[in-house]
Amino acid sequence: MIPEPKANSSPLIWVIAVPSPLHQVFEYLPLSATQVTPQPGARVKVPFAGRDVIGIFLEERRSELTTTTALKRVETLLDKEVPLLGLDQLQLLQWLSNYYLIPQGEALQLGLATAERKGRPTWTAEPDHIALKSGTETIDRIPTRASKQRAAAQFIGEQTVPIASLTKAGFSASVISALVKSGVAEKKLANQHAYPPQSTVTLTEVQHQICATLKAKMTGFTPHLLEGVTGSGKTEVYIECIKEVVAKSRQALVIIPEIGLTPQTKRRFEAALGCEVPLIHSGLTEAERARTWAMARSGAAQVVLGTRSSVFCSFRALGLVVVDEEHDPSFRQQDHPRYSARDVAVKRAQICNCPIILGSATPSLESIANCDRGRYQHHALTQRPHGSKLPDISLIDTRGLALRSGLSEEAIDQIRCTVEKDEQALLFINRRGFAHSLQCEDCGWVADCQNCDSSMAVHHSPPHLSCHYCNTKISAPTYCQQCNSNRLTSRGIGTEQLEILMNRHFSKTPVFRIDSDNIKNIETLSQALQAIARAESAILLGTQMLSKGHDFPRVTCVVVVDADSLLHSPDFRAEERLLQLLVQVSGRAGRAFLPGKVLIQTRSPDHPMMQQLVQRSYSDQARALLVRRGVLRLPPKGAIGLIRSDSKQERDAINFLDAVREQLPIHDEVRLIGPMPTLMTRRANMYRYQIVVHAQTRKAVHSLLEAARDIGSQQKLGRKVSWFVEIDPTETL
Ligand code: ADP
Ligand code: ZN
Ligand code: ZN
């Protein structure tokens, strides 16, 4: 007879999530010197694969092993009192790990600032601002001989200013500390209530009503979709709701899609709210980011503004989440770890039991479907405030027209009229560089990228060919590589070419080109935007960068140079994307008091989408698209997933997927398509293949992907190819 195991005979261990690509957590022996059990979310230093790493403590329990000889011991407990990961973050990130099939150890890292992941002590909340304790009245209490202190106090005035700005103005550290010592001034952590709110708008009746409805629901989890046409004042609605939340000592998180939008959005929120709104985005230094995290965690930041990754930030008391331009594809992280920041934000609000507002002029079909299902509350702003009108949209049929650098005479005339009135014109084109490709007129040869299934774009300043997929750059050939002819022509218009044309035609008007070639970072973008705001007449031309959220009050004419390049894509989301893009670009016109017009150049003016764009609202068109998705059972009326592999050896990429597919359980509800090559099979010398998983329910797709992940992890080839599984992918080609 086998004896019963003695109770509590197995050793006590700590379960630690270690950052590693393995889909498991690990057992360690507890820290030897301590009797305390850490709280879940505390950071620990542990040995792992031959080095020390920072992991997250999850729980203490009896081991499933009977002997502990193989187990290593936790070396240090970094967060002895309060764990750095809050309970809500822990819950969110464990959900993230499970839903997006990301290893738990990697997911949990997302809840820490970069410095914290390296085990640094958390950012010490060193007060970096100063204010007068009882305002300027106290200046008289400073003895007249202490003239420096008086001057410093005058400098501070009624504001809370960064200590650094005092130092910059020439006040020494001893003057500052004397002010603090004498009790006239005090150091503060954040720039709270630094500015009396500067801008207050009077809400329109409709805005007011929506705010009233929203404010009545500011406690508890409710998702709201604010569908408001471009320039209808969605941001004013967010601001009102944030004020309400902040007044109750809770915090708000505002997530926006583009780092380029952060400076002006920050200014606008700070002016309206009268408090510092710290940022989280990839352009910050580690120290800047640590500062925002610490402010959010301590509650010193009432509002945090950020891009995607800010959804994981820790808060003392999160009371509202806002996701602006919620339809924007940039909310989807396209490399590991793959997740949708919008969807994670909804989960976060649910866990924190607070409301979330998703706002957009062109909401995603997913969010519209969620309203239809009664999961989200729908609010509509169908008009711009105070009579400013939505622009008129008209099509220019370019068939048979002689175009100049892609522009019709009609478009050029309209641009001329616009700048002559001291207004601004905006030209949207989907391609940077001078031209799409270089081709031989005699034999048809095209200069292709050596590493990708793609032609190389022609650039003029400086002259070269460039692959926009793998970034390879070469000097432009002067002869055809196939027949030696020197008759090489560039095809397809890019931003550089349009810029040259505009400068030639409108030599007295400033032309601003906004694309990733000449706007390298957030500072250059800010400078360009400020110059545009100062200019009277101007021509703005650029790529997607220009289409997003920016407010250009003087733009009254928008030209979409080539709508067709976007029209014929096999992606099932192509129409939704195109529609959103065109409506958003159009929305840049006539945002202030000047009326606007939009001209769309197309060779397919009879295409139903083009017709509807002119005749129907986004809302109607989106609902029509949703019906079609329903027929095809495509998201959000069905679910899809991907199993993808990339490899230098094409055979390996295919063999890996074949092996996974062979072992996948058969599931009546699930359809598998592939392995098949992706649309652009070779990128940067890697061959890309995939299996598309399609089912009616997400649950079915998810369980299949889970199986695929486990099977993939067992494959020997899995170590040679780079592979992943993805739920709700947005790029399926
Ligand atoms: P959206 O976020 O919907 O694109 P915004 O909030 O940026 O719209 O508003 C567009 C413009 O209209 C901004 O310049 C804003 O200040 C102005 N605006 C919005 N609501 C009002 C209002 N009630 N009164 C005056 N101006 C307003
Ligand atoms: Zn040739
Ligand atoms: Zn390439």
Mean pLDDT, range 345-366, rounded to an integer? 97
Pairing of strands 318-324, 356-360: parallel
Domain containing 274 — which CATH number?
Answer: 3.40.50.300
Identify whether 442 is part of a domain.
Answer: no
End of a domain among 86, 117, 148? 117
Give domain status of residue 7, yes or no. no
Q: Point out the ligand nearest to the CA of residue 587.
A: 1
On whether both 431 and 344 belong to a single domain, the answer is no
The answer to whether the CB of 18 falls within 8 A of the CB of 105 is yes
Q: 428 and 527 in one domain?
A: yes
Residues 507, 536 within the same domain: yes
Q: Is residue 308 part of a domain?
A: yes
Q: Kindly tell me if the per-residue pLDDT of 596 is higher than 90.
A: no
CB-count burial class (<10 Å; 0-12, 13-18, 19+) for 344: buried
pLDDT for 186 beyond 50? yes
For the domain that residue 723 is a member of, what is the CATH number? 3.30.70.360
Among 562, 536, 420, 438, which residue's Cα sits nearest to residue 488?
Answer: 438
Distance, CA 233 to ligand 3 centroid (Å)?
42
Which of 627, 653, 680 is the last residue before a domain boundary?
A: 627
| pLDDT(194) > 60 | no
Assess whether 271 and 368 both reside in one domain: yes
Give 81-134 pLDDT, tens digit per residue: 888 899 999 999 999 999 999 999 999 999 998 888 988 765 555 677 788 887
Output the CA 313–ligand 1 centroid distance in Å.
28
Instruction: Look up tokens 């100062």; give the residue.
Output: 534
587 C-alpha vs ligand 1 centroid, how far in Å? 13
**Shared-domain flag, residues 396 and 498:** yes
Q: Is the pLDDT of residue 550 over 90?
A: no
Q: Where are the alpha helices (DSSP H) in 363-513?
A: 365-372, 409-420, 495-505
- Give 100-156 as a DSSP string: TT--HHHHHHTTS-HHHHTTPPPPP----EEEETTGGGGGGGS-TT-HHHHHHHHHH
- Average confidence (pLDDT) over 166-175: 89
The minimum-distance atom of ligand 1 relative to the CA of 361 is 3
CA of 228, closest atom in ligand 1: 3
- Quick check: helix, strand or coil at residue 521? coil
How far is Cα 313 from Cα 298, in angstroms, rounded to an integer?
12
Section 310-328 average pLDDT: 96
Contacts of 64 (CB under 8 A, 6+ apart): 10, 27
CA distance 304 to 292: 8
Domains in the chain, number: 5
Q: What is the pLDDT of residue 132?
A: 86
C-alpha of residue 553 to centroid of ligand 1, in Å: 11
Whole-number mean pLDDT of the chain? Answer: 91
**d(C-alpha 134, C-alpha 138), whole Å:** 6
What atom of ligand 1 comes closest to residue 201's alpha carbon?
Answer: 24
Q: Cα–Cα distance between 489 and 22 in angstroms, integer? A: 51
Smallest CA separation from ligand 1 atom 4, residue? 231
Q: Which tokens go with 57?
A: 């403590």
Cα–Cα–Cα angle for 665, 669, 672, rounded to 5 degrees: 60
Res 266: pLDDT: 92
Ligand 1, pocket-test mutation among 201, 229, 234, 390, most atoms within 8 A of CB: 201
Q: Is residue 43 part of a domain?
A: yes
Cα 444 to middle of ligand 2, angstroms: 6
Identify the sign of the CA torsion 661, 329, 561, 437.
negative
Evaluated on CA atoms 535, 537, 539, 543, the torsion sign reads positive
Q: Which amino acid is at 261?
A: L
Q: Is the domain of 520 the same as that of 393?
A: yes
Residue 7 has pLDDT above 60, yes or no: no
Domain final residue, candidates 327, 358, 386: 386
Ligand 1 atom closest to residue 587's alpha carbon, by position in its atom list: 4
Verify that 243 and 157 share a domain, yes or no. no
Render pLDDT for 646-679 as a digit per residue (tens, 0 to 9): 999 999 999 999 999 999 998 889 999 999 999 9
Among protein residues, the one with the nearest Cα to ligand 1's atom 19 is 233
Q: Give the tens place of pLDDT for each residue, 385-426.
A: 877 777 889 999 999 999 998 999 999 999 999 999 999 999
Residue 107 lies in a domain: yes
Q: Which residues surround ligand 3, an ion (CB under 5 A)?
A: 449, 451-452, 467, 469-470, 472
Ligand nearest to the CA of 455: 3
Whether 153 and 258 map to the same domain: the answer is no
Is position 428 within any domain?
yes
Contacts of the segment 399-407: beta carbons below 8 A, 24+ positions apart: 399/603, 399/605, 404/501, 405/493, 405/497, 405/498, 405/500, 405/501, 406/493, 406/497, 406/498, 406/561, 406/562, 406/601, 407/498, 407/501, 407/559, 407/561, 407/601
Q: Would the pLDDT of 5 be above 50?
A: no
Residues 678 and 540 in one domain: no
Closest ligand, as measured to the CA of 357: 1
pLDDT band at residue 380, thresholds of 50, 70 and 90? very high
Same domain for 179 and 64, yes or no, is no
Residues 256 and 267 grouped into a single domain: yes
What six digits make up the tokens of 218? 């500011």
Which of 440-444, 513-517, 716-720 has the highest mean predicted lDDT (pLDDT)? 440-444
pLDDT of residue 544: 86
Measured from CB, residues less than 6 Å from any atom of ligand 1 are 201-204, 207, 228, 230-236, 385-386, 551, 591
| Band (2; pLDDT cuts 50, 70, 90) | very low
Do strands 251-255 and 185-188 pair parallel, antiparallel, or not at all (unpaired)?
unpaired
What is the longest distance spanned by two Cα atoms in the chain?
100
Contact assessment for residue 609 and residue 625, using Cβ atoms and an 8 Å cutoff: no
Of the residues 235, 236, 239, 389, which should be mutated to test ligand 1's pocket, given the most ligand atoms within 8 Å of the CB? 236
Q: How do residues 27-41 score in pLDDT, each as one tens digit?
A: 999 987 667 889 999
State residue 361's pLDDT score.
95
Q: Does 286 share its domain with 326?
A: yes
Q: Residue 675, Cα to own-chain centre: how many angstroms?
A: 30
Tokens standing for residue 672: 């598998």
- Atom 18 of ligand 1, nearest CA residue: 233
What is the domain extent for residue 346?
Answer: 205-386
- Ligand 1 closest atom vs CA 324: 2
Kindly state the average pLDDT of the residues 706-719: 95
Nearest CA to ligand 1 atom 11: 231
Beta strand pairing call for 76-77 and 43-48: antiparallel
> Nearest ligand to the C-alpha of residue 239?
1
Instruction: Let me know the angle formed at the C-alpha of 362 by 277 and 370, rounded to the nearest 5 degrees.
Output: 90
CA 233 / ligand 1 centre spacing (Å): 4
CATH assignment at residue 50: 3.40.1440.60
**468 in a structural domain:** no
Judged by its nearest atom, the ligand closest to the C-alpha of residue 237 is 1
Instruction: Tell me what pLDDT residue 444 has.
Output: 96
Q: Is 537 exposed, middle or buried (0-12, 13-18, 19+ CB in 10 A)?
A: middle
Are 189 and 300 in contact by the 8 Å Cβ rule? The answer is: yes
Residue range 479-499: average pLDDT?
Answer: 95
